Structure 1
């Protein structure tokens, strides 16, 4: 994921990567629905990192973007736009 490159905290990077990898086996952990089919994966590290995703079909998890608690509202809006763009294709 592109946003991981901007995170300097190695523990946060590791936790985020681990959580995303666990999603592949169906273990989503701490997550909640936002709106318009976008979900938020919450990582309890640093400023409260978030990974936004959507379920497409029965098996595909589409990772949309990441951010933190400070930019949460704008990130959700951007994730919704990314999902809409993906679904148009």
Structure 2
């Protein structure tokens, strides 16, 4: 998450990193579907951070995309574009 470097609030940054670590252990926590196998994890800290991930054929992909509530709409657009690319690459492998 390139934008994570830009987060100045250290406790918020720690919360995002802790959340990503929990996801790696199978605990998705507070999240919701935004359609087509794509999900938004919500981290209620600081500006309300979001991290996007997708699930496809029993595999979970953490997307290199996220932001806070103020950039949510554009972040979702970017996440959908990345997700489309990932799924197309997976289809080629089959």
Q: Within the alignment, does 1:28 sit opposite 2:24 as a pair? A: no
Q: Aligned partners of 2:6, 2:42: CA distance in 1, in Å?
A: 18
Secondary structure in 1 aligned to 2:29?
coil
Superposed displacement of residue 57, structure 1:
2.5
Q: Which structure's CA Rg is the greater one?
A: 2
Aligned residues: CA RMSD = 1.2
Superposed displacement of residue 55, structure 1:
1.3
Misfit runs of 4+, over 4 Å? none
Bigger share in helix: 2
Superposed displacement of residue 70, structure 1:
1.1
Q: Within the alignment, does 1:82 sit opposite 2:82 as a pair? A: yes
Task: Tell me the residue number matched to 2:46.
Answer: 46
| Ranges in structure 2 where 5+ consecutive residues have no aligned partner | 90-94
Secondary structure in 2 aligned to 1:27?
coil
Q: What TM-score does the superposition give when structure 1 sets the normalisation length?
A: 0.90
Secondary structure in 2 aligned to 1:26?
coil
Q: Within the alignment, does 1:61 sit opposite 2:60 as a pair? A: yes
Q: Aligned partners of 2:75, 2:86: CA distance in 1, in Å?
A: 16
Question: What count of residue pairs does the alignment treat as equivalent?
Answer: 88
| Ranges in structure 1 where 5+ consecutive residues have no aligned partner | none
Q: Aligned partners of 1:61, 1:24: CA distance in 2, in Å?
A: 9
